């Protein structure tokens, strides 16, 4: 094929670079063109999620058995002119700096926006990487009168082009990829520099090449009639309709994370604390090992941790499924546009609104929802803001203290805690915007809105399972190990008056630790060991704070936090003493601390999965310091009036 821009084809890669047991193939394309569908369909459950080396950018790698290759799913990008960490990861992967030499690039081409996709294919070609094209969205393009013939396109660009429906089986793609790994096809008509540098020098050639390919495909399409998606968007993106619809969907997500998931969570935890625990005790009894340290380790340590993990599984699965439905249907991108103006006030764009709203139901699925954010910087900042959204688990603590100390104004106090939560999110966002550069990018939000479509059940099930199992495998280990350590501290006596495993809380290593740190909270008005112990257990899970108070005061835990009974009397007396007669001020300070410090151990584990241990550790330390300063400031101010 002759072309004024043609250059000699590059030498094929050496046989040693491709004749390996697992050739490395990268999957690259614009956002919302079916890349994840292709990856999931190719690898099934034979995949793992990890961060790119030295970044918080998520990568997925899996074994594609049908093609005999290792497939790496790169972040969605419109260009190799990197303007974000995610795009830089794609550049580094193609250059071989990220994961080693790449044997083949599988480039997804959107039939409804072929020029934009060809631009990315051309940039990949200019790096000297062998490539195969995958033509997607063919059905939508046909409906819109933009049908692209795969064979014509293949002849024009000089590489195999396979038309697939990512929502269905694409076995013919595996065949083409396996053959391309051997043949190493390169795009024709472009200079292959093996370097993504000097982009401006290559731009003129690239745009001319794209124009030439479009002409061979039949030139620009005629004016198009509005599509079904266009018609729907006129309603859902209209300010007077779109915002209420968006609010209703966010309310539904909030309900899923609270009232709807709660009964299933209780059943899951009850399965472990009930039948499984009973069976374990019975088995130990048969083996003659009941009532000892082994039973305490298994029941109060390991099984308690497993129960916590299992109780979160239904919640995570429900939220992952709900978010996947919004994403797969095409609405998630629209939600970002609706919320964009409000989110820019704190240095983020509209895509960050979903995790923050979900956070008021539960911080854990909110952190998981940050994975839908395509920009690594936004993921980090949003992950830092989510802990300040007051989750439902904190509500039990608010109800207990508000009922005990402000019985006539409990509802108002609880409402004000949520107002404070929103203010903390805004203030933290403004601080991060100033010191972390969150607001330096003033470019408008540009997203390619995918066509509305019916979510695919198979794909939804696969993604829900993969994400849920990732939580169990990652966060589950941390939770079980930590709760086992807590059991050990509560079982170890600090004096010779008690035996291991049979010791009051105050006389255990756990109680001694709480006693030791209680002076730290004296300036906040709740410097008693019972409060310190409750905050320690609250680090594991906020919903056990009420139970910890009951255990420390040696009273029965109330069935309803709004009716504390004896616990309320004990709690009131303890706060009255520790605050020097300013119990109400101390109670507010305690609630502020509960709101602002680390939500729970499960969220810490999920934060680690999202941004790594280094940033997570810094976040936990910052949250503790901020919570202490807010609690002390609140108490010292309110005690002047109480």
| Residue 448, pLDDT score | 64
| Residue 48, pLDDT score | 67
- Tell me the three state secondary structure of residue 376: helix
CB 479 within 8 A of CB 308: yes
Task: Give the mean pLDDT per block of 10 residues along the chain (642 residues).
Answer: 36 36 85 80 71 63 87 85 75 78 90 85 88 83 75 89 73 86 89 59 80 77 63 81 81 69 74 80 75 71 73 76 80 76 76 80 80 75 90 82 87 88 89 66 60 76 77 69 75 75 76 89 92 86 77 68 75 90 92 92 82 87 94 93 76
CB 519 within 8 A of CB 632: no
Return the axis-axis angle of helices 304-329 and 331-343, rounded to nearest 10°.
100
Which H helix or E strand runs over 25?
strand 24-28
CB 1 within 8 A of CB 188: yes
| Residue 637, pLDDT score | 94
CA distances in angstroms from 26 to 12, 29, 56, 172, listed in the order given: 18, 10, 19, 18
15-216: in CATH 3.40.50.300:
yes
| Residue 11, pLDDT score | 38
| Residue 495, pLDDT score | 75
Domain boundaries, the chain: 15-216, 229-367, 478-638
pTM beyond 0.75 = no
Write the DSSP string, 427-479: HHHHHHHHHS-TT---PPP---PPPP-PPPHHHHHHHHHHHHHHHHHHHHHHH
- Tell me the three state secondary structure of residue 26: strand
CB 91 within 8 A of CB 85: no
Which H helix or E strand runs over 566?
helix 566-578
Which region, left, alpha or beta, applies to residue 34 given φ > 0 means left and ψ of -120 to 50 means alpha? left
Strand blocks (E) in 137-284: 161-163
CB 63 within 8 A of CB 147: no
């Amino acid at each position: 094929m002759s072309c004024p821009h043609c250059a000699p084809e590059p030498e094929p890669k050496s046989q040693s670079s491709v004749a390996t047991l697992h050739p490395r193939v990268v999957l690259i394309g614009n956002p919302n063109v079916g890349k994840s569908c292709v990856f999931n369909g190719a690898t099934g459950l034979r995949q793992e999620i990890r961060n790119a080396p030295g970044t918080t950018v998520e990568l997925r790698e899996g074994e594609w058995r049908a093609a005999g290759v290792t497939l790496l799913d790169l972040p969605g990008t419109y260009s190799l002119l990197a303007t974000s960490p995610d795009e830089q990861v794609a550049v580094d992967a193609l250059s071989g700096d990220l994961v080693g030499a790449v044997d083949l690039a599988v480039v997804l081409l959107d039939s409804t926006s072929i020029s934009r996709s060809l631009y990315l294919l051309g940039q990949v070609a200019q790096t000297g990487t062998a490539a195969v094209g995958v033509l997607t969205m063919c059905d939508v393009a046909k409906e819109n009168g933009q049908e692209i013939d795969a064979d014509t396109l293949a002849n024009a660009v000089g590489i195999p082009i396979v038309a697939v429906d990512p929502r269905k089986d694409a076995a013919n793609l595996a065949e083409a990829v396996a053959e391309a790994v051997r043949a190493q096809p390169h795009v024709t008509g472009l200079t292959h520099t093996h370097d993504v540098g000097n982009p401006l020098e290559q731009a003129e050639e690239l745009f001319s090449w794209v124009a030439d390919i479009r002409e061979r495909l039949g030139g620009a399409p005629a004016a198009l009639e509005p599509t079904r998606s266009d018609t729907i968007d006129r309603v859902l993106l209209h300010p007077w309709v779109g915002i209420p619809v968006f609010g209703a969907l966010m309310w539904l997500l909030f309900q899923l994370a609270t009232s709807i998931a709660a009964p299933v969570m209780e059943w899951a935890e009850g399965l472990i604390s009930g039948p499984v625990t009973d069976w374990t005790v019975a088995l130990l009894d048969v083996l003659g090992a009941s009532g000892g340290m082994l039973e305490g380790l298994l029941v109060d340590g390991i099984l308690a941790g497993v129960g916590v993990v299992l109780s979160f599984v239904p919640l995570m699965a429900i939220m992952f499924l709900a978010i996947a439905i919004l994403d797969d249907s095409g609405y998630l991108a629209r939600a970002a546009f609706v919320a964009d103006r409000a989110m820019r006030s704190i240095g983020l764009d509209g895509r960050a609104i979903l995790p923050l709203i979900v956070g008021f139901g539960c911080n854990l699925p909110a952190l998981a929802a940050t994975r839908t954010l395509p920009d690594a910087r936004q993921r980090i900042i949003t992950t830092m803001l989510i802990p300040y959204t007051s989750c439902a688990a904190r509500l039990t603590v608010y109800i207990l203290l508000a009922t005990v100390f402000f019985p006539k104004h409990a509802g108002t106090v609880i409402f004000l805690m949520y107002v404070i939560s929103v203010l903390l999110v805004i203030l933290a966002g403004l601080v991060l915007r100033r010191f972390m550069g969150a607001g330096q990018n003033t470019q408008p939000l540009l997203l390619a809105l995918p066509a509305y479509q019916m979510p695919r059940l198979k794909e939804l099930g696969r993604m829900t399972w993969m994400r849920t199992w990732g939580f169990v495998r990652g966060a589950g280990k941390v939770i079980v190990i930590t709760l086992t350590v807590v059991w050990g501290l509560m079982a170890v006596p600090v004096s010779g008056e008690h035996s291991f495993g049979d010791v009051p809380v105050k006389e255990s290593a756990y109680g001694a630790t709480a006693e030791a740190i209680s002076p730290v909270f004296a300036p906040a008005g709740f410097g008693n060991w019972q409060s310190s112990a409750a905050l320690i257990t609250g680090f594991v899970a906020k919903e056990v704070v009420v139970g910890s108070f009951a255990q420390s005061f040696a009273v029965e835990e109330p069935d309803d936090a709004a009716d504390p009974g004896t616990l309320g009397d004990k709690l009131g007396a303890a706060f009255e003493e520790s605050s020097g007669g300013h119990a109400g001020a101390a109670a507010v300070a305690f609630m502020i601390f509960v709101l602002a410090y680390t939500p729970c151990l499960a969220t810490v584990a999920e934060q680690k999965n999202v941004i790594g241990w280094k940033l997570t550790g810094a976040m936990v330390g910052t949250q503790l310091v901020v919570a202490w300063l807010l609690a002390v400031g609140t108490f010292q101010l309110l005690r002047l009036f109480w």
